[in-house]
Every structure is written in structure tokens, then in C-alpha cells.
Amino acid sequence: MPLSHDRIADDSDKARAWARVRANLRESAGVRLFDQWLKPMQLDEAGDADRVRLTLPSAFATNWVRSHYAERLFHEFRAILPHVRSVEVETAPTRATAAVIALSAVPAAAVAPIAPAADELERPALEPRYTFDRFVVDGSNKVAFNAARALAEPGPVRFSPLFLHSGTGQGKTHLMHAIGHAFMAAEPGARVIAMSAERFMYDFVAALRARDTFAFKTRLRSADLLLIDDLQFIAGKDATQEEFFHTVNEIMSAGKRLVISADRCPQALDGIEQRIVGRMAVGLVADIKAPSLELRRTVLERKVADLDAKVPAEVLDMLAGRITGNIRELEGALNRVIAYAQLTGETLDLDFAVTTLGDVLRGSQRHVTIDEIQKLVSTHFDLKPVDLVSARRARAVARPRQIAMYLSKRLTTRSLPEIGRKFGGRDHSTVIHAVRRIEELRDTDRDVDGAVRALMRELEG
């Protein structure tokens, strides 16, 4: 029941109404979302009696609540206090610089949207270190790097979306954040939103619970640059994928920039709807391959310079040679060695590094043999090991043989001629062809990529 039907609400009415609104929000939004975003709101009892003013401690929180709950707050107050004409959400304590969103009783169709001031646009939480000038480029990531630079340039959009894919810790997130930094530097007034696919799902579910999907849709679709990381996390989430598909369509139709990343190419994303996969293929798909030895060494050298530390070259060589697949793990190992040396006061040499990183090095140095690879591949494809070294060229044998050669190159230290000899005395050029062919198929053939992933997990496990 309304607190008053025949008079303008006074301050005590507002306070009682606010207590009820808070209770309703807590129930509909859930404890976690309420505590994080809505609980810090305070009622400012000063001002006009027919205007409710709510304040939050930061501009970021204010923008989020405006985007997600402004309309909901207005309707909640109106249901209790019919005399209220507007509900305003501001940043405390400065009124002069706060952009007020006032939802009046005028019909929605007659209300023109109020654009936020340039300095109050939502700012994405980008990692400051992840910029283009700090990204180490070589043949394994050059295409992805150049594509990211091109998308971040101001002016007409050359392609969208940009789809980046690679294994964990190989630079996808770095490039995405670098795009955000560069684009905001070139277009200071642009609206940039960066989030993980998991966050997209969480915010969408929260909007559904709050019966306020309009604000969620409006926020994302107003972005000039939308960055979505780790698309694979919404696999199998039908409702989330439906909303994601429409968001992608809106961004692309408006000619805006969209960047998406995943741990594999679009065609190999199990549980992702084909219409989403089709949208991804319209733009540019760029992969980041496992880092080369030279790249790993360069990354370590740059990290040492950043830390202003002294690390012997033989330690850097050992790290680059032993930790091969993950840049993030490589940097973490270097951080650990340097920190332990500083904390213990011991000399940072090769023996100290090996002792300190014993568990890390053992985990990354699984010794895989070509014989083991041939046995596992033949079992996986229901063949005999002798088939892989035979002269048979039937597709049922040739493709598994190429996969076995690819894995031998990836997981062992054997040279190309040595690998060729282990496969029936084949020439090293045959091994090169097999490796390149499987790399191409992993981007386009879900079955091949799935088989390679399954085999690598078993071999490295």
C-alpha cells in the first residue's frame, strides 16, 4: 500500500519507502549482486519532495547502477510513493560533476536518452601492462598482432568481428586489452566494454532475475568496441547464447568493433550454436600458435628488464627451453626464482633455479617418445603401429600418420630427419608437410582438432 495518497511525500516517507525498495531489490537481485552493487546506495533526503536522489561512492558503481537499475528504481519508488516524479542516481559527494539520470512519469516513448559526459563514460577494467608495445611479436603471433592493431585504428572498420584463439597463456587477453587501450587513446569519447563470456552470462542472468534485460541490452549494444574473452565458457548455455547472438548481430549491423577470443577456432567450439560460429567466420579469425624458443627467450629478457633484476643467461636459457607452452607460466617461473633469491639472499644461478623450480620443471618436462606417440595414435584410430610406418597412403592411415608426425614435432626434441626415419624412413620434407597440414586442419576440422587435443592431454598427463 502507498504510504500517502493525498500529499507530497516528506522525508520520513522517503526513508520508509527506501527501506522497502532495498528489501525488494535484495530479494529479486540475490544477495551476491545486491551486496556488490546495490547495498552501497544511500538515500539523500535533501532536495525536492517529489524527487528521490540516491548516491553511490564511485562513478563506476554509479554508471553500473544507472545502466542496470535506473528504470527499476523509479518504478519501485512510484509503486510506494505515487507523487515521486523522478529517481536520480548520482555519485557522492560531488553533485556538480555527476551526470543525473532522471526517469520522470512521462511515457517512455517521449523520453530522449541522456548521453553521459565524455569523462563519465564507462571505462573498462583493462590491465595497464597489456599494450601493443609490450607484446613480443614473432611468426607464431604476427597475424593476430597485426589484425589487432588494424582493428584498434580509428576510422572506418576494416573487419569485424576479430576472433582470436590460442591455448592458455599465449597472449589472447594481452592483445584484447591492447586493442582497448589503443582504441580509447585514438577515440577518447568512445564507449569500450570488456568482459569475459562468463561475466556476460552472469550479468545476463542477473538482468533476467531483476526483470530488467532492457538495460543490459542497451549497455552492451551501445558499445563502440566490445571485447568478449573466453567464448568457450558459454558452451551449452542456450539462453545466454541467444542473447549473445543478438548482441553480436546488433554490434556488427551498426558497423562497430567486436573482438572475441576462445581457446580454439570457431568450428571446433563444442556446444556453441552454429549461427554464432557463422557470425565469427564472417570477420577475421587469427590464431596464436605455441611460442617459439626465440619468443620465450625474448619475453624473459623483457621481464628481467621490467623487474630491474640480474638473471644469468644460462638461467634464462634453461627456463625458455624447459617451459615451452605457456607464456604466463614462464613469467611466473621467472618471478618465483627472482623472489626466492631476494628473500633468501642466495645467489641466483642455474643450480638455485633448478632447485627452486623443481616441481614446475618436472611438470613441464614430461619425456614423450615417438614410439609412445605411435602406439597411442594407432590405438586411438584403431590401427596397428606398423601401419604408421608402412607405405600405405589410404586416408584412414595417412591422416593418423600426419597427426603422429605433428605430435612428434610438438612433444619431442627429435629433429625432422629423426622423426622421418621413425616413420618408415621418410624424408624430412614429408614431416614438414604433415606438421603444416595438421596445423591448417586444426583451424577448420573439429574432428582433427579434437583428436589432437585428446592425444596431447593423454601424452602430457
More confident of the two residues 211 and 342: 342
173 has binding-site annotation: yes
Taking the whole predicted model, whether its pTM rises above 0.95 is answered as no
**pLDDT class for 92, splitting at 50, 70, 90?**
confident
What pLDDT, on a 0 to 100 scale, did the predictor assign at position 460? 58
Of the listed ranges 162-176, 184-198, 322-336, 368-382, the least confidently predicted one is 322-336
Measured in whole angstroms, the distance separating CA 257 from the mean position of its chain's CA atoms is 16
User: Residue 169 burial by CB count (10 A; 0-12/13-18/19+): exposed, middle or buried?
Assistant: middle
What mean pLDDT, rounded, does the chain reach?
A: 82
171 has binding-site annotation: yes
375 has binding-site annotation: no
Of the listed ranges 73-77, 356-360, 375-379, 441-445, the least confidently predicted one is 356-360
Q: Output the nine-digit C-alpha cell for 195.
A: 568482459
Residue range 376-390: average pLDDT?
91
pLDDT tens readout for residues 402-461: 999 998 887 777 788 889 999 999 999 999 999 999 988 988 888 898 888 888 777 755
Closest CA to 353 of 323, 374, 381: 323
**pLDDT class for 93, splitting at 50, 70, 90?**
low
DSSP classification of residue 291: P
Q: Going from the N-terminus, what domains does the chain have, and what CATH number goes with each?
A: 11-116 (3.30.300.180), 132-287 (3.40.50.300), 293-364 (1.10.8.60), 370-460 (1.10.1750.10)
DSSP classification of residue 120: G
* Contact present, 121 and 151 (Cβ < 8 Å): no
Closest CA to 302 of 320, 279, 284: 320
pLDDT tens readout for residues 219-252: 888 899 999 999 998 988 889 999 999 999 888 8
262 - beta bridge partners? Answer: 165
pLDDT tens readout for residues 36-84: 778 889 888 766 777 888 888 877 678 778 877 887 888 888 888 888 8
DSSP classification of residue 289: P
Instruction: Count other Cβ atoms within 10 Å, centred on residue 426.
Output: 20
Residue carrying C-alpha cell 549491423: 253
**pLDDT class for 140, splitting at 50, 70, 90?**
confident
**DSSP E strands, 250-306:** 257-262, 284-287
What pLDDT, on a 0 to 100 scale, did the predictor assign at position 219? 86
Is the pLDDT reported for residue 174 higher than 90? yes
